[in-house]
Amino acid sequence: MSANLGDIGNNLLDWYDGAARRLPWRVAPNDRRNGTAPDPYRVWLSEIMLQQTTVATVKSYFEKFTDRWPTVHDLAAASEDDVLKAWAGLGYYSRARNLKKCADMVVRDHGGQFPADVAALRALPGIGDYTSAAIAAIAFDIPASVVDGNVERVFSRLHAVETPLPRAKEEIKSLVAAALPEARPGDFAQACMDLGATICTPKRPSCLHCPVRSFCAAQKDHDPQTFPVKPAKKEKPVRLGAAYVVVSEAGAVLLEKRGSTGLLANMAQVPTTDWNARKDGATDLSGAPATKAQWQACGEINHVFTHFALRLTVWKTMAATGCIEPRTSQWWSGEDQLRDEALPTVMKKVIACALPAIRF
């Protein structure tokens, strides 16, 4: 088994040298061998963005962020509101808030340098076991076992791991550690990720093109698509609520800032009823900001969060001058400003439902 595990690492590196994906945050293997070191800031930023988000989606956000804030010092000097606005649409907004906290801490406590140590990285805001290992390996070539969803799939198939996730995580991590080559641990981590993303895919994997096919127990004796073994999915509860789109005579939309804690904290939204993951909100006009206005029902939008699905009834009204005076936490945002607001995807859906001409 140990010889095979070593061969797996070598085969993956040989394949990666010719097949590595070109990504804006990555140093190509040949450039790395010629002395170009990865920028830990770019590695960290990409890994935070890639949590629960696809590479295709992250690319444009990453380039926008690094154009605006090319170093961790630049990001630390930014306001949280600006970071949230730039993050809008990526989802899982606690990542953006922790991104800012982490940049602040790296500048304040580490002189603007990310620590080349797994434990020290793990102590930074928003960095967990996986992300600390990924930054350590990719940015600093520290031999850490990097196990994301792609790597779980690759190694669960290579060894036909019958233990269901998430219980199998430690077993898979041990298998990755055993295959980890002494040289180039960062490239090995990225090779495993690339293999899972391009060949060892969740459905219809391209086994004939796999560089470690000869070692794969699932390919020999099973259907690779049955791995990793996962428990049956629990059906998500559906929560209900209402959202109110108020449009001024000038075409501006009334927005407000959500609270500083909880779901979508500090993000912008149109006024809504009091829904959350555990309870429904009213779906009628009882929570409308201007009960005497002429409201129009625009339909419903659906949005899926991690732990629940949300169905919002969308209402719209045209507000005459003086009909509504924005509260302290509210403001009018014109059509040309809406795209720059810190609006989560669910709120973009709401506004688009009420105002189809607006494109985000």
Active site residues: 47
Rounded Cα distance between 316 and 242, Å, is 11
Dihedrals phi, psi of 42, to nearest 5 degrees: -70, -35
Ramachandran area for residue 89 (φ above 0: left; ψ -120 to 50: alpha; else beta):
left
Tell how far CA 12 is from the center of its chain. Answer: 26
Task: State the alpha helices, DSSP H only, in the chain.
Answer: 2-19, 29-33, 40-50, 55-68, 72-77, 80-87, 94-110, 118-122, 129-140, 149-158, 169-179, 185-198, 217-221, 335-338, 345-354
Residues 6+ apart with CB under 8 A from 111: none
Residues in the chain: 360
In which residue are the tokens 């096919």 written?
213
Beta-strand relationship, 268-269 and 238-248: unpaired
Q: Alpha carbon of 23 to those of 167, 186, 190, 194: distances in Å?
A: 32, 15, 11, 11
Q: Give, as one character, the DSSP assignment of residue 237.
A: P
Nearest of 172, 195, 118, 164 to residue 5 by alpha carbon:
172
